[in-house]
Amino acid sequence: MTLILFNKPFNVLSQFTDEGSGKRTLKEFIPIPGIYPAGRLDYDSEGLLVLTDDGALQARIANPKNKVAKTYWAQVEGIPDAAALKALAAGVDLSDGRTRPAKARAIPEPENLWPRHPPIRYRKSVPDSWIELTITEGRNRQVRRMTAAVDHPTLRLIRVRIGDWSLGDLTPGDWKNA
């Protein structure tokens, strides 16, 4: 069995083909045939992606029924108060239903964080801050929609953990065997 941990850069598709879009794909970074992502990470999100050639493992990681925890660092507009964090933890109402309870906490800006290219847009009149959010489902753009639902839109999103696997010291575009 092959198991790869990859730090997906910003603006890279979580697939090996671009289907004519002209966007960067995993093929540019990972020269191993026969592996596939276990789940997805949005084009405009960064961080941990697990790839494997084991279909059963891939399904176990990706299927929301299995409640595999995924942890994200989200740089958000504003400074979420205790009520916003409590709402995220309890679950928020989205257009496709209420989210499962999550773990949510304010964190300092992560140390040793790589710069994003292009950088996020800073606004002098609106502060930003970081939260750590752990969810056990994987709806489309879920973390971004959750933070927007509590009036703190996500500016930058980095997945740092999937189950027992973590991003560790992988830099964007780097991968390693797990």
Summarised one tens digit per residue, pLDDT across range 70-94 is 999 999 999 999 999 999 999 999 9
What is d(CA 127, CA 152) in angstroms, rounded to the nearest whole number? Answer: 11
**CA–CA separation, 154 and 143 (whole Å):** 8
Residue 19's pLDDT is: 83
42 is catalytic: yes
Residue pLDDT, tens place only, 33-54: 999 999 899 999 999 999 999 9
Which residue out of 42, 53, 54, 128 is catalytically annotated?
A: 42
pLDDT for res 8? 98
Which of 92, 89, 74 has its CA nearest to residue 129?
74
Q: Letter for the amino acid at 136?
A: T
Mind listing the pLDDT tens digit for each residue in 66-76? 999 999 999 99
The total of other beta-carbon atoms located within 10 Å of residue 13's CB is 21
Q: Which CATH class is domain 3-63+168-177?
A: alpha beta
Q: What is the pLDDT of residues 135-178, one digit of tens each?
A: 999 888 999 999 999 999 999 999 999 999 999 999 999 999 99
Query: d(Cα 61, Cα 63) in Å, to the nearest integer?
Result: 6
* 69-162 belongs to CATH 3.40.50.2300: no
CB 148 within 8 A of CB 154: yes
Q: Report whether pLDDT(112) > 90.
A: no
Region(s) of the chain under CATH 3.30.70.580: 3-63+168-177
pTM, rounded to two decimals: 0.95
